[in-house]
Structure 1
Amino acid sequence: MAQFQQDETGSQDTGPSQPLSLTAALARIAHAAPDEGLTLGAFSDALGERVFGALLFALAIPVCMPFLYGVPQIVALPMMAIALQMAGGRAHPWMPKSFRNRQLDKPGLTRIATWSRKWFGWLEALARPRLSFLSGPTAERFVGGVFVLFCASILIPLPATNTTPGIAIAIASIGLITRDGLLVLAGLVLGLLWITLLIVGFTFFGAAFLDMLKTFILGLFGAGG
């Protein structure tokens, strides 16, 4: 997977252009978006849709936001479609017209940019090439298959089923983009542990696990009973 790059426009620097980080690119896209926002297709094109990791990272950001409703449902199915293509070894992501026409409003784009920098900017800055076998073409297909499982979890209407797998996808995507196999591994482990928790919780506690999980999540974010 090629390193995500986007040149600065209007730069007076006559030397080689510097790569624009994902978080910086998201901020730039949000700032330049028209008042009505962007379609998912236009958003994908602005990111550079040749890079699966860049697109999956960007779409995972609103999914990471706790107690945010609406946007995760807009992006979850396109994320799953992209992950399936990644697992199938496609060179370039593709979305059907019905997905590409889904609208992301400007405030939503601004929140995506703000959250990506706040929660993942430091991680992106620390990322470096290592454990390259976990970010190569064969590994990408495996990661894509696991991402499909994470996206399925996002579609389940339970507390934090959006947030945890969304964070896992974002971390692993940064790893894919920067060829940091350690981050890829960290994202996969986080997401798989979450899904294991859901399976074990419902197996042993049934419907009562939902109340336990909701109480824990609300307490964690200080939302009260």
Structure 2
Amino acid sequence: MSLANVLRALPGSLKNQRPSLSDILDALDERATPLVLMLFAIPAIVPTPGIPAGMVFGTALAFIGMQMAVGAKRIRLPSRIAQLRIGIEQLERVLGKATPHLEKLERRLSARLACLNTPLAIRSIGVVIFIMAVLIALPIPFGNTLPGLAVLILSLGLAQRDGIAVVAGLGLALIAGVVSTAIIGSSWWLIESFFNGPLITST
């Protein structure tokens, strides 16, 4: 079964109408870290009304990235994060929008450049995912999309052992980092200019 089909079938396997992130991980049966990364990256890209998607899923991705970086074999989320809940209808809506695009991407992937799927490479990718997750979690205007796409492409590359996709994800992560840094820098400059600008007085 393709990754897109696994995600499409996910809502039907959840018994609770407001499943927690822990319920979702259990339903995936810890099938693979890349699949969990993919699922948590999608809400950062697809608008999710009623959910602070950046904060919730960015934080979850940050913990997963840290565990990848240290070579953990089993994904665990802190209890406070694991018990966060999402409505089943919202989950279905988000996955319904995303899975057709995932199917198209999957058809282009194949196993190549195996050197980018070694344990050491995966640890390094974990560091990159952690950085992208922090950017997703930060309240940066329009700042979720590029880091979310980077994590999504990296997860697809890892799942399909496609080193070319991993390279593309790393390149997009670099662009996301530059863009986010520029946005943060510009915002800081505007704030400083506002508070430290010359006072206008009448004579």
- Detail structure 1 runs of 4+ shifted over 6 Å in the superposition: none
Distance 1:203 1:59, change over 3 A: closer
CA distance in 2, matches of 1:40, 1:47: 11
Q: Equivalent residue for 2:145?
A: 163
Give TM-score, length-normalised by structure 1. Answer: 0.77
Unaligned stretches of 5+ in structure 2?
192-203
Distance 1:39 1:206, change over 3 A: closer
Q: Equivalent residue for 1:7?
A: none
CA contact (8 A) 2:113 2:162 kept: yes
1:106 aligns with 2:94: no
1:134 aligns with 2:116: yes
Shift of 1:71: 2.7
CA distance in 1, matches of 2:140, 2:186: 17
CA distance in 2, matches of 1:196, 1:179: 27
Q: Equivalent residue for 1:81?
A: 63
Q: Equivalent residue for 1:47?
A: 28
The equivalent position to 1:115 in structure 2, one of 90, 93, 97, is 97
CA distance in 2, matches of 1:184, 1:205: 31
Name which one, 1 or 2, has greater alpha-carbon Rg: 2
More helix by share: 2
RMSD between aligned alpha carbons?
Answer: 2.1
Shift of 1:206: 4.8
Q: Equivalent residue for 1:58?
A: 39
Q: CA-to-partner distance for each residue in 1:87-120, whole Å, 9 max, x for gaps?
A: 0001111112222211121112102321331332
Q: Equivalent residue for 1:218?
A: none
CA distance in 2, matches of 1:123, 1:27: 15
CA distance in 1, matches of 2:184, 2:52: 25
Give the alignment of 1:130-209 within 5 angstroms.
Answer: 130-200=112-182, 202-203=184-185, 206-207=188-189
- Which has the higher mean CA deviation after the structures are superposed, 89-98 or 45-54? 45-54
CA distance in 1, matches of 2:140, 2:183: 13
Give TM-score, length-normalised by structure 2. Answer: 0.85
Match of 1:23, SS state, is helix
